[in-house]
Structure 1
Amino acid sequence: MEIWDGYNRDETLAGVDLVRGEKIPDGLYHLVCEVLVQHEDGDFLLMKRDLNKPTNPGKYEATAGGSALKGEDKLTCIKRELKEETGIEAEDFEHIGRTIHGKCIFEDFYTRTDCAKDCVTLQENETIGYKWISEAEFADFVNSDDIIRSQRERYRTFLGKRGYLK
């Protein structure tokens, strides 16, 4: 059983535990942290979602991440999720956005890595593949129907500042 902290809309703790899979009461949210990963050579990491995921199965996503566990702050969460889903360890994260969607507060980050590109590992039931794509391919990806639409919307400001959006 996965336990999350319940949050108010302003991201203050509500003092309520939430259980993954159970209905989240009105007025409460849970924290989800995601990170866009760029290699020092400029390539971006895309992770392929497991075919059994309830949303967007088998699609490549421009992120690694997931729900914060009870007691985790956003940086602890994103470090853990990045390591679990990709095997990549990072310490420096740039906060690139905060969005509320449904019952989730999304905190989005960006990080650069110098890891060996073949060191990426997959997390069972989460990811089934990965690929590194060039910045030009990434710009095409974020402007296509291949990207998960909610990611493009959440990353819009960051992507716009970088010139990736058409």
Structure 2
Amino acid sequence: MIEYWDLYDKNFIKLDGYSHIRGRRIPKGYYHLVVNTIVKSGEYFLFMKRDPNKASYPGYYELTAGGSCLKGERPFHAAKRELYEETGIRAKNIERLYFYKSNAAFYMGFIYETNKDKENIRYQEGETVGHRWVRKSDLRDFIDGHKVATKSLRRYLLKFNESI
């Protein structure tokens, strides 16, 4: 299945009539949108383990579930879709945390806070292969003891002026 993305200019203005096919190089000066959702349950954060066959960060733990926003899709919907696809969690209310531009993409981060049963996580074939719930007080030990992609974690902590 071919996946299409909307394209944006450097000011995050969607370029009507322009789209991009996943897997092709994004032309210089154009951007697509990537959404990421952090899941927090009380003092615990959900880390998803990336499939070892992924091109980037294979086998790493990642604080977020996420991916590219599809053509015509709104960011909140894309974040909820990606969260469900990669974890099985159906989020009703998510809150936007951060937004930044890097290379050929804009990144929009969200958080979903829940008190639901933490044992019902499922994985998406080719994307996720495991998970860990990590208590906030154990984040430093977890990062030191595992391969962890930390960009989203650092952005979350910066948002709340916290450190680990």
TM-score (normalised: structure 1): 0.89
Give, in whole Å, the separation in 2 of the partners of 1:81 and 1:153.
Answer: 21
Partner of 2:94: 93
> Unaligned stretches of 5+ in structure 1?
none
| Secondary structure of 1:118's aligned partner | coil
Give, in whole Å, the separation in 2 of the partners of 1:152 and 1:146.
Answer: 13
Partner of 2:106: 105
**Residues 36-55 of structure 1 correspond to what in structure 2 (within 5 A)?**
36-39=38-41, 41-55=42-56
2:59 and 2:147 in contact (8 A); partners too? no
Report the CA distance between 1:21 and its aligned residue.
0.5
| Secondary structure of 2:7's aligned partner | strand
Give, in whole Å, the separation in 2 of the partners of 1:35 and 1:143.
Answer: 23
**Residues 147-162 of structure 1 correspond to what in structure 2 (within 5 A)?**
147-158=148-159, 160-161=160-161
Residues 1:155 and 1:116: Cα distance change in structure 2 (over 3 Å) = same
Residues 1:145 and 1:86: Cα distance change in structure 2 (over 3 Å) = closer
Give, in whole Å, the separation in 2 of the partners of 1:70 and 1:156.
Answer: 31
Report the CA distance between 1:141 and its aligned residue.
4.0
Match of 1:148, as an amino acid? A
Report the CA distance between 1:152 and its aligned residue.
4.0
Partner of 1:65: 66
Match of 2:19, as an amino acid? D
Give, in whole Å, the separation in 2 of the partners of 1:10 and 1:97.
Answer: 16
Report the CA distance between 1:91 and its aligned residue.
1.9
**What is the aligned counterpart of 2:32 among 26, 30, 33?**
30
Post-superposition Cα deviations, 1:45-103, rounded to whole Å, max 9, x if no partner, equal 00000011011100100010110001011101001001111011112222111111211
Report the CA distance between 1:142 and its aligned residue.
5.7
Q: CA RMSD in A?
A: 1.9
Report the CA distance between 1:143 and its aligned residue.
7.5
| Secondary structure of 1:119's aligned partner | coil
| Secondary structure of 1:123's aligned partner | coil
> Unaligned stretches of 5+ in structure 2?
none
Match of 2:96, as an amino acid? H
Partner of 1:124: 125
Residues 1:145 and 1:104: Cα distance change in structure 2 (over 3 Å) = farther
Partner of 1:17: 19
Give, in whole Å, the separation in 2 of the partners of 1:153 and 1:24.
Answer: 27
Aligned length: 162
Post-superposition Cα deviations, 1:31-53, rounded to whole Å, max 9, x if no partner, equal 000011101x3211000000110
Match of 1:3, as an amino acid? Y
2:33 and 2:107 in contact (8 A); partners too? yes
Residues 1:116 and 1:110: Cα distance change in structure 2 (over 3 Å) = same
